[in-house]
Chain A
Amino acid sequence: NAGVTQTPKFRVLKTGQSMTLLCAQDMNHEYMYWYRQDPGMGLRLIHYSVGEGTTAKGEVPDGYNVSRLKKQNFLLGLESAAPSQTSVYFCASSYDTRTGTSGSNSYEQYFGPGTRLTVT
């Protein structure tokens, strides 16, 4: 099992350019998430999805769009990149906690290795 994978690992964009970050998971998880991590600010939720075809806004959604066309993939798009979007982006996935759980590990979010994005 590869777990959660992210593409690309690094990217440099110029202001105004667009790009898509791809997240894939092979654990058959219902829930998926996109976070950004900035120095001294921890992880902040951008968007999330509770199943194929669904998306919802998190804490910091402005400037980003997402799509979940297949259960195993969650895409994060930047339509017009800004320097304020320079950050490390993490994707995560987890079980559907509504269907009953056994043990605290059921609430675990599994993180990908991250994408380091610089916008100049």
Chain B
Amino acid sequence: GQSLEQPSEVTAVEGAIVQINCTYQTSGFYGLSWYQQHDGGAPTFLSYNALDGLEETGRFSSFLSRSDSYGYLLLQELQMKDSASYFCAVRGTGGGNKLTFGTGTQLKVEL
């Protein structure tokens, strides 16, 4: 099976940079995804890392170290609209493109 750990809450100020960490234990691993979810909304895809290193998409970047079973999501130039929950998710080797989600990190962006 899989288990993931991420901080439950993070607070940062508008314009700052914040990093949300995710560590995982898994019996089979293809890659690590990140999803954003606003209150009352549906999860939306942010990024997917299959290989070690940094993937950059605009203000958001995601990093993976397979040897350390660790990844992080980096959000730059924080905006109030970035206040949301962020989930890391392991794509396992069991087929079906299945994901196992972490419990989520609630990010609060303050003025």
Pick from B43, B49, B55: contact of A43, CB under 8 Å: B43
By the criterion of a CB under 8 Å from any partner CB, how many residues of chain B are at the interface? 25
Q: Is the Cβ of A109 less than 8 Å from the Cβ of B96?
A: no
Q: Is the Cβ of A42 less than 8 Å from the Cβ of B45?
A: no
A2 at the interface (CB under 8 A from B): no
Q: A31-B96, A43-B101 are in contact. Are A108 and B42 (CB under 8 A)?
A: no
Q: A107-B91, A108-B45, A113-B42 are in contact. Are A42 and B101 (CB under 8 A)?
A: yes
- List residues of chain B with CB within 8 A of the CB of A110: 45
Q: Is the Cβ of B97 less than 8 Å from the Cβ of A31?
A: yes
Report, as a range, how many residues of chain A touch the other chain. Answer: 20 to 34
Which chain B residues in 77-95 approach chain A with CB under 8 Å? Answer: 87, 91, 95
Q: Is the Cβ of A111 less than 8 Å from the Cβ of B44?
A: yes
Q: Which chain B residue lies CB-closest to A94?
A: B97
A117 at the interface (CB under 8 A from B): no
B17 at the interface (CB under 8 A from A): no
What 0/1 readout, one digit per residue, does chain A (102-117) give for beta carbons within 8 Å of chain B?
0011011111111000
A74 at the interface (CB under 8 A from B): no
Pick from A31, A33, A40, A107: contact of B31, CB under 8 Å: A107
Q: Is the Cβ of A42 less than 8 Å from the Cβ of B91?
A: no
Complex Cα–Cα for A113 and B37 (A)? 11
B103 at the interface (CB under 8 A from A): yes
CB distance from B4 to the nearest CB of A (A): 8
Q: Is the Cβ of B91 less than 8 Å from the Cβ of A45?
A: no
